[in-house]
Amino acid sequence: MAFLMKSMLSNQVKNLGLGGGGEESKEESTPSDPAAAAGMTREEYEEYQKQMVEEKMERDAAFAQKKAERACLRVHLREKYRLPKSELDENQIQMAGDDVGLPEDLQKMVAQDQEEEEDKDSILGQLQNIQNMDMDQIKEKAQATFTEMKQAAEQKCSVM
């Protein structure tokens, strides 16, 4: 309703010539050719537009590649921690092409993590963990647990 009133009033004001004509003179002063508006010749403007389109395509391709690398990282982490897979990540990887992999820095980090996990899982890694344990602390914990269990059993059992 407000739009209808505004358009009716503005049309009548334009007809009277009271301030409505300023907009028309602005429109007439601007050139219709975008090349002339940019201060270039027609050929220069077309070349400029081609460059802009090419740069946009390059940026879009680089962005899609980065998105695919991130998706690859998420897929790797999901596999590592046994989390459910995401179809969105797999689709992003397929859209960017199947040649997407982890960046080199992340590959090095993953390789180091895998080596550390393998060392911890091996028998030698377990033996090293045993050597690093504080035996006095373990004895104290065991004795405290034993005394707690003994006291709980005495409270529950009238024979003891």
Q: In angstroms, rounded to a whole number, what is the distance separating the alpha carbons of residues 160 and 150?
A: 10
Domain for residue 131, yes or no?
Answer: no
- Domain assignment of residue 57, yes or no: yes
* Residue 61 belongs to some domain of the structure: yes
In a domain? residue 141: no
Q: What is the pLDDT of residue 109?
A: 81
DSSP code at position 33: -
Q: How many domains does the chain have?
A: 1
Q: Which pTM was predicted?
A: 0.46
Report if residue 80 sits inside a domain.
Answer: yes
CB atoms within 10 A of CB 77: 11
Asked whether residue 22 is domain-assigned, the answer is no
Please write the tens of the pLDDT for every residue from 118-159. 777 666 666 666 666 777 777 888 899 989 888 888 888 766
In the chain, the N- to C-terminal Cα span, in Å, equals 92
Q: Is residue 45 part of a domain?
A: yes
Please state, in angstroms and rounded to a whole number, the distance separating the CA atoms of residues 5 and 12: 11
CA contacts within 13 A on the Cβ side of 154: 6
> Which residue range is the domain that position 55 belongs to?
37-99
What's the rounded Cα separation, in Å, for the pair 23 and 13?
A: 12
- pLDDT tier at 82, thresholds 50, 70, 90: confident
Name the helix (H) or strand (E) containing 112: helix 104-121
**Nearest CA-CA partner of 100 in 67, 57, 58:** 67
Which residues lie below 8 Å from residue 154, measured CB to CB, with a gap of 6+?
160
User: Is residue 93 in some structural domain?
Assistant: yes
pLDDT for res 25: 47
